[in-house]
Amino acid sequence: MNKAKVGVNGYGTIGKRVATAVTLQDDMELIGVTKTRPTFEAQVAFDKGYDLYVPEGKEDSFKSAGIQPKGTINDLCKKVDIMVDCTPGEFGETYRAMYDSYGIKGIFQGGESHSLTGISFNSTANYKESWGARLSRVVSCNTTGLLRTLYPLDQWNKIQNAYVTIVRRAADPGDSKGGPINGLEPSVKLPTHHGPDVQSIMPWLGISTMAIKASTTLMHMHTIVAELERETGTDEVLEILRDASRVRMVSTKSGIKTTAEVMELARDIGRDRSDMYEISVWEDGVKVIGNRLYFYQCVHQESDVIPENIDCIRSMCKMIEDPMESVKKTNRTLNIIK
């Protein structure tokens, strides 16, 4: 089997998880990861045995910290088939030009705009659109969360309009730099980017989104109201959601009343880094009245896009043509079990 040679540019919150996921795939090889500073994350990557690549001129600072780089980011580009770019959003144009110059493929994350790549990716909604593509973008954690539930619902009973409020975490658990400490911060630029991001994959969907930043680090919460084409019942909706890929049903009756218990569940089932890749939907919080559907879901912002990145590699490198075959393969390696 010819394995895809994968590099990860940016070994941070998303990058380190993508790197781990790549090492679990039998059809991929992790060639190396990049880091711009000799932080503890760089040390951990080095200790794991990952080949570490750094910006040109920064080699000595890493060596002084006891970390021996394998080479520069340019050197990594010469060795890979595809680069998963997990760098901060403002560097997309620069790295796209770099990947172009080396003739390699590039996957960007949701911090970049759709216009950077011209293709946005979701495993079940449009896997084949990235088939053999040179560039693609895995949409953001919140957008991925919305697609995981809205797409299968729309395929079953067309959604006329969806109204979403996102209560989002202020910072990741390991980030001490910012976020509201004792308050709620509205996103006053409306509508928020999440609706147009969903439409980059489901252009036919009417969707409006608002967001509030809250003083929590664990997860994002979505409240969703969807107007369906035809009247239905709550049980029918529950059946669709239970069958949806990478959706986990939870219940207050089982003791999962908050996002804290969802993350405790991820720890208890032994997930790497306590990650909850699935979108969690409160089963007893789903309600249909006529053709109007109400439900709550939550998104683990650090990890829900990781399986999508793995599937995107397979699509772009033309490795597995059937979307669900790739999804099932990724799910097995990440212990995502329905």
Q: Identify the pLDDT of residue 176.
A: 78
Q: Which residue has the higher pLDDT, 136 or 179?
A: 136
Q: Phi and psi dihedrals of 78, rounded to 5?
A: -75, -15
DSSP 335: T
Q: Over the stretch 207-220, which tens digit does the pLDDT of each residue have?
A: 999 999 999 999 99
What mean pLDDT do residues 163-168 have?
Answer: 97
Q: What is the pLDDT of residues 251-284, one digit of tens each?
A: 999 999 999 999 999 999 999 999 999 999 999 9
Sheet holding 105-108, edge to edge: 71-72, 52-54, 28-34, 4-9, 82-85, 105-108, 135-138, 120-121
Phi and psi of 221, rounded to 5°? -120, 135
Give the whole-angstrom CA distance, residue 109 versus residue 16: 14
Of 37-51, 80-94, 177-191, 231-245, minimum mean pLDDT range? 177-191
124 is written with which tokens?
A: 């079940």
Q: How far apart are CA 162 and CA 206, in angstroms?
A: 6
Alpha-carbon distance of 265 to 337, in angstroms, equals 14
Domain boundaries, the chain: 4-139+305-333, 141-299
Catalytic residues: 141
Report the distance separating Cα 312 and Cα 283, nearest Å: 30
Tokens of 178: 């910012």
Residue 154 has pLDDT above 80, yes or no: yes
pLDDT of 175 over the 90 cut: no
| Measured distance CA(84)–CA(330) in Å, rounded | 16
- What is the predicted pLDDT for the residue at 1? 64
DSSP letters spanning 111-141: TS-HHHHS-EE-HHHHGGGGTT-SEEEEPPH
- 317 CB neighbour count, 10 Å cutoff: 22
Residue entry with tokens 């979307």: 323
Residue 177 scores a pLDDT above 80: no
DSSP 3-state assignment of 89? helix
Omega before 191 within 30 of 0, i.e. cis: yes
The whole-number pLDDT of residue 178 equals: 73
**CB hemisphere CA count around 129 (13 angstroms):** 16
The DSSP letter of residue 47 is H
Q: Rounded to two decimals, what is the model's pTM?
A: 0.96
In this prediction, residue 67 has a pLDDT band, given cuts at 50, 70 and 90, of very high
Compute the mean pLDDT over every residue in the chain, rounded to the nearest whole number: 96
Least confident of 58-67, 168-177, 190-199: 168-177
Residue 179 is predicted with a pLDDT of: 79
Distance between terminal CA atoms of the chain? 28
pLDDT at residue 174 tops 90: no
CATH class of 141-299: alpha beta
Structure tokens at 192: 């928020």
* DSSP codes, 260-285: HHHHHHHHHTT-GGG---SEEEEGGG
Q: Over range 125-142, report the average pLDDT.
A: 98
Instruction: Tell me which DSSP letter residue 304 carries.
Output: T
- Write down the pLDDT at residue 89: 81
What architecture is domain 4-139+305-333? 3-Layer(aba) Sandwich (3.40)
Radius of gyration for the alpha carbons in the chain, expressed in angstroms and rounded:
20
What's 35's DSSP letter?
Answer: -
Region for 317 from its dihedrals, namely left if φ exceeds 0, alpha if ψ lies in -120 to 50, beta otherwise: alpha
Residue 299's DSSP bridge partners are 220
Average pLDDT over residues 131-155: 98
pLDDT at 44 over 70: yes
Q: For 179-209, what is each residue's pLDDT tens digit? A: 788 899 999 999 999 999 999 999 999 999 9
Please say whether the beta carbons of 168 and 145 come within 8 A.
no
